[in-house]
């Protein structure tokens, strides 16, 4: 599989961590997206939630975040319907259901989240049918495939 065609859906936890820390796995994933090595996919809801987090907890970084997103040029998907969210609520916490439903709605290869409590639960994994991984797990997969392709 050509890693440049990987469509990687990120949740807000990865976006926040990637912008505030330049050395972590989340930042490395954003760097891969910026370099065109992977395709970053976000939902409108993830962007709104992430912007809200920056405004509330990191107001000095709001401009940096918005500029970064503009330069990143991710694929931004429509939010899921109310019915799609209700279906996701059967397998995940109500607050996380819109993100899981949005990821299921689009053709992705990975959902990357730091929320191991909710997103990495067996029911959520089964519902999505695509790997749900942490940033570190994603980078390990990326490196393995990248090295195999060499």
User: Residues 17, 53: contact at Cβ < 8 Å?
Assistant: no
**C-alpha span between 50 and 143 (Å, rounded):** 27
pLDDT of residue 119: 87
> What average pLDDT score do residues 58-63 get?
95
**C-alpha span between 134 and 64 (Å, rounded):** 24
pLDDT of residue 118: 84
Cβ atoms within 10 Å of 146's Cβ, excluding its own = 12
pLDDT of residue 116: 82
Q: What are phi and psi of 40, to 5 degrees?
A: -85, 130
> Given a cut of 90, is residue 146 above it in pLDDT?
no
pLDDT of residue 131: 92
**C-alpha span between 131 and 129 (Å, rounded):** 7
Can you list the domains of the chain with their CATH numbers? 6-149 (3.40.50.1010)
Residue 97's SS3 state is helix
> Given a cut of 70, is residue 129 above it in pLDDT?
yes
If pLDDT is split at 50, 70 and 90, which confidence band does 107 have? Answer: confident
Distances (CA, A) of 107 to 40, 56, 66, 94, 101: 12, 32, 25, 23, 12
Q: What does DSSP say about strands 39-43 and 132-133: parallel, antiparallel, or unpaired?
A: unpaired
> What average pLDDT score do residues 124-148 get?
89
Beta strands in 1-150 (DSSP E): 7-10, 39-43, 75-77, 110-112, 132-133
Which structure tokens are listed for 34? Answer: 């910026």
> What average pLDDT score do residues 79-89 get?
96
Q: What does DSSP say about strands 132-133 and 110-112: parallel, antiparallel, or unpaired?
A: parallel
Which structure tokens are listed for 116? Answer: 């191991």
Say what the pTM is: 0.92
């Amino acid at each position: 599989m050509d890693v440049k065609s990987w469509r990687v859906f990120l949740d807000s936890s990865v976006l926040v961590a990637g912008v505030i820390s330049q050395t972590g796995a989340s930042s490395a994933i954003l760097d891969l997206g910026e370099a065109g090595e992977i395709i970053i996919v976000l939902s409108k809801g993830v962007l709104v939630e992430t912007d809200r987090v920056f405004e509330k907890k990191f107001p000095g970084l709001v401009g940096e975040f918005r500029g970064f997103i503009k330069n990143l040029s991710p694929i931004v998907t429509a939010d899921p319907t109310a019915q799609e969210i209700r279906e996701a609520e059967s397998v995940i916490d109500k607050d996380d259901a819109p993100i899981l439903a949005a990821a299921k709605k689009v053709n992705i290869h990975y959902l990357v989240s730091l929320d191991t409590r909710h997103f990495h639960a067996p029911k959520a994994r089964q519902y999505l049918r695509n790997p749900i991984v942490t940033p570190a797990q994603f980078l390990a997969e990326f490196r393995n495939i990248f090295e195999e392709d060499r």
